[in-house]
Structure 1
Amino acid sequence: MSSEVQSHRDLVVWQQAIDLAVAVYQVTKNWPKDELYGLTAQARRAATSVAANIAEGYGRENRGSYQQFLRIAQGSLKELETHLTIAQRIGIARDDAIAPTLERSESVGKLLRLLIRKLSGQ
């Protein structure tokens, strides 16, 4: 199998972002029902936005646009981390559920930064 990237689906960062979104859906499924349209929806939206922006940027086939969408994905990642931290602090999410999700988020963030640097020629 070739290691050449032929699609956004071949990007490890996109694959990990998908895994992160799935993890967020699993973590949030037992959050209180009164948060369904609040923190739950915001966390899920931010998580799916990360992978979606990686894919959309890749599809633009323009380096500058691609980098911009990767930066938007970084912003969504920070938004997600904020929602998870708030949920943890107000007691709707357990530390043992949030910690691995935040670790996944950190891993995706590192990969995003590496990809942006690579595209910048740094």
Structure 2
Amino acid sequence: MNNFRELIVWQRSINLVVKIYEITKEFPKEEKFNLVSQMQRAATSIPSNIAEGAGRNTNNFFKHFLTIAIGSSHELETQIIISKQLGYINEDDCGMILTELNSIQKMLYALHNSLQ
């Protein structure tokens, strides 16, 4: 199967996780166990599921874990939009994150669709 560390989508999703952790450090303390935790878990789920799927024996398993990664990416997208509307993320950071996240989503869909 694939060496997940060589996948560009995995590398970019790792960078996105780091960015999410950096941004959520600035959220209000009362969000630590709510929105912050959810965003960090959703972001971390993306590269984690890519890695787990790549380590499985078949393309069907890989596709299954890519589907989970895609779901987590949409969950994160929703949480970013909520954070923006609550004033926790500024316009520039929101735009940058959503642009990168949408690019990662396209890569995940393409990788998923390329597997037989």
* Same fold at TM > 0.5: yes
The equivalences for 1:24-35 within 5 A come to 24-35=20-31
Q: Which amino acid in 2 is paired with 1:51?
A: P
**Which amino acid counterpart does residue 65 of structure 1 have in structure 2?**
F
Give 1:40's aligned residue: 36
TM-score with structure 1 setting the length: 0.91
Q: Deviation per CA, 1:9-55, whole angstroms, max 9, x where unpaired?
A: 00011001101111111111101010000001100100000000000
Match of 1:85 among 77, 81, 86: 81
Structure 2: gaps (5+ residues)? none
Whether 1:101 aligns to 2:97 is: yes
Question: Identity of aligned pairs, percent?
Answer: 41
> Structure 1: any 5+ residue segments left out of the alignment?
none
Q: TM-score, structure 2 length as denominator?
A: 0.96
Deviation at 1:7, TM superposition (A): 1.2
* Per-residue deviation, residues 73-113 of structure 1 (Å, max 9, x unmatched): 00000000001100111112211111101111011101001
Aligned residue runs from structure 1 range 1-12, under 5 A: 7-12=3-8
Distance 2:112 2:7 in 1: 13
CA RMSD of aligned residues (A): 1.2
SS in 2 for 1:38: helix
Aligned pair count? 116
